[in-house]
Amino acid sequence: MKSSSFVHGLQAAGIVTVLIGIGHTAFHRIFGWKRAFASMSSLNAKVFTTIHIATTLFLLLVGALTLRYSELLSQSTEPASVLCVALSLFWSWRLLWQLAYFKPSQVEHNSRLLILHYILTLFFAFLAMAYGAPVAGRLWRA
């Protein structure tokens, strides 16, 4: 695979990551958090909201940085490799978590959530591969 293929894969990964970040802004509607927050303590609701906002901002930032620096991330430098491996491991973990923790049988009654489950599973698998591909390609050539 040529380096330009890695660049295009990383650009796509940046777009997908930004889309996931944007999708996080709709979680409160999708999952009915207003109702859920009413039944928990104010402190727990604030902690939950803080973690969610931080995750959303992190995804948007990582996606934007991946888009901006996709060419640098595709190069065989140590910082690029470390960052790509770290992001590939993160998305691999997220894929496994999606498959093990959010089982389709838990959302079968809601077709929208079931579709979301499968879309996220595909996104996470793609992201793990897109970030891992430049490093795997370098190792394969070595």
pLDDT digits (tens, 9 = 90+) for 128-138: 999 999 999 87
CA nearest to 68, candidates 23, 25, 15 = 15
Point out the least confidently predicted range of 13-22, 40-49, 80-89, 110-119: 110-119
pLDDT digits (tens, 9 = 90+) for 40-96: 999 999 999 999 999 999 999 999 999 999 999 999 999 999 999 999 999 999 999
CA nearest to 18, candidates 61, 79, 74 = 61
Q: How far apart are CA 52 and CA 8, in angstroms?
A: 29
Give the total residue count for the chain.
Answer: 142
Q: Is the dihedral of CA 6, 10, 16, 17 positive or negative?
A: positive
Q: Which residues contact 114 (CB under 8 A, 6 or more apart)?
A: 104, 107, 108
* CA 24, chain centre distance (Å): 11
Number of Cβ within 10 Å of residue 117's Cβ equals 19
Return mean pLDDT, the chain.
Answer: 93
- Give 142's pLDDT tier (boundaries 50, 70, 90): low
pLDDT at 30 over 70: yes
Average pLDDT in the 18-41 region? 93
Average pLDDT in the 98-116 region? 85
DSSP state of 75: S
In this structure, which amino acid lies at residue 51?
I
Contact of 124 with 98, CB cutoff 8 Å: yes
pLDDT at 1 over 70: no
DSSP state of 34: H
Point out the least confidently predicted range of 13-17, 27-31, 49-53, 108-112: 108-112
Contact of 130 with 10, CB cutoff 8 Å: yes
